[in-house]
Chain A
């Protein structure tokens, strides 16, 4: 059933891409509507800032519009868009580093624990503290490690898809995830203690 739905979506993507090749702007509008949220969420998880995530999302679709003529359905449209988005985020981080801009992510705290009403206030505070620690640890990770944790543990992508987005093999993605998790847990442990 799931495979059938995926195949149907893949076919729909192919049709939309074909219509884009024919110069239909409406087809690109449909692609935008389908993948806007995923691209934006991925950018937000990596950058931790709403304005930057918005900007990267729009830039991703501008790049996609300019390069859609070269898209040959070798990977899924979603993977292709996330790859563009990841590259743009990496460029942005490099630019910040080159200009020596100190970056601070501004993850919204309430979003990390949305189901907090009705619980014990003590537990809510404790949970908020733990969330803060994990977000700080995630933010302190190098971007490649943060990318793989976001893709696997937050966005729930499989290794094959992660490999396609990051430009590596699934085995390499698995190894990178192991190292990233270890690094994250070390940071969380040191922050907790």
Chain B
């Protein structure tokens, strides 16, 4: 039961009344109110009980403490030991941190200061976006066939920006060799190998920055692949000396035909000089194309 509006005037003096700290006038004034107000009577009773009990607590003794000064000294010694242990741990931690920092500093010095920048793994392998196979100048740029297939021509297509032609090339591959699921699994046909070799050469040119020539070679190989798909035999382009001299592309798609000894004869035009090879060996074909000096000049 809360105090009403009239009772709020008595609230401040209620505690004094309950603890008998109020003056005589206040006592009489409060008593007159409490006699006719039940809520204030209850409040006053509660205050009287509370104040009496608090006074009893004041006079009561508390249970005796079990600890003394000797215990305190022991506790202080333990505390000191803990602090010293903590400082030892901190010292060890500082030493370990300093050592680690030193090692890191030495590493940084070796990497950037003394030996110069260390080449990354991709750098040491020579792989760059423009040269994904890591080929260096004068090195065979042929990639494993399986790797070539796995790449799905994406590096070259992104460089040459010929996605439609790449798709056509892939479909041509599948048409030429329908049972072939991957380059590393089945032996591709001769025409198929020629097309792949041309693409590889185009990629090699691209790796050496000869983008225009690579594009040209790639376009020609695409023409050849379309010819293979359509079933028409490819012909070596007939060019005049003047045309060959002004030709920006140094390599022309080889014409393939039967050799006299029953093998395969390929005819190339490299830097305007027509060359031919009579061997049908797939492994050496690329080498001959890249190094025309090995071929026999007509």
A111 to B45, CA, bound (A): 23
What are 6 A-B pairs at a CB distance below 8 A? A33-B69, A54-B65, A62-B75, A66-B79, A108-B63, A154-B58
Q: Which residues of A contact B65 (CB under 8 A)?
A: 36-37, 40, 50, 53-54, 57
A145-159 contacts to B (CB < 8 Å): 149, 153-156
Q: How many A-B residue pairs have CB under 8 A?
A: 95
In the complex formed, the residue of A with least CB distance to B52 is A130
8 Å CB contact of A153 from B42, B49, B58, B79: B58
Contact A112 B60 (CB under 8 A): yes
A102 vs B265: C-alpha distance in the bound complex, in angstroms?
A: 97
B43 lies within 8 A of A189 (CB)? yes
> Within 8 Å of chain B (Cβ to Cβ): is A83?
no
User: Do the beta carbons of A188 and B46 come within 8 Å of each other?
Assistant: yes
**Residues from chain A with Cβ under 8 Å of B297 in the complex:** none
Q: Whole-angstrom distance between the alpha carbons of A108 and B54 in the complex?
A: 14
**Interface residue stretch chosen among A3-11, A69-77, A131-139:** A131-139
Determine which residue in A41, A45, A58, A135 has the highest number of CB atoms from chain B within 10 A of its CB, and name it.
Answer: A58
A58/B72 contact (C-beta < 8 A), A36-B65, A44-B62 known: yes
User: Are the C-beta atoms of B49 and A133 separated by less than 8 Å?
Assistant: yes
Tell me which residues across on chain B come within 8 A of A44, comparing CB atoms: 62-63
Contact residue among A32, A41, A113, A193 (Cβ-Cβ distance under 8 Å from B69): A32
Q: Which residues of A contact B76 (CB under 8 A)?
A: 62, 65
| Residue numbers in A under 8 Å from B55 (CB-CB) | 153
Query: What's the tally of chain B residues with a CB closer than 8 Å to chain A?
Result: 31
A114 interfacial contact with B, CB 8 Å:
yes
B52 to chain A, nearest CB (A): 8
Residue of B nearest to A30 (CB): B69
User: Which residues in B have their C-beta under 8 angstroms from that of A37?
Assistant: 65
Complex Cα spacing A175 to B13, Å:
14
Q: Which residues of A contact B53 (CB under 8 A)?
A: 112, 130-131, 134-135
Known: A112-B57, A137-B50, A178-B15; 13 extra A-B contacts, CB below 8 A, are A36-B65, A50-B65, A58-B67, A130-B49, A133-B49, A134-B54, A153-B58, A155-B58, A181-B50, A185-B15, A188-B46, A189-B45, A192-B49
User: Known interface pairs A112-B53, A112-B57, A130-B53. Does A185 touch B72 (Cβ–Cβ under 8 Å)?
Assistant: no
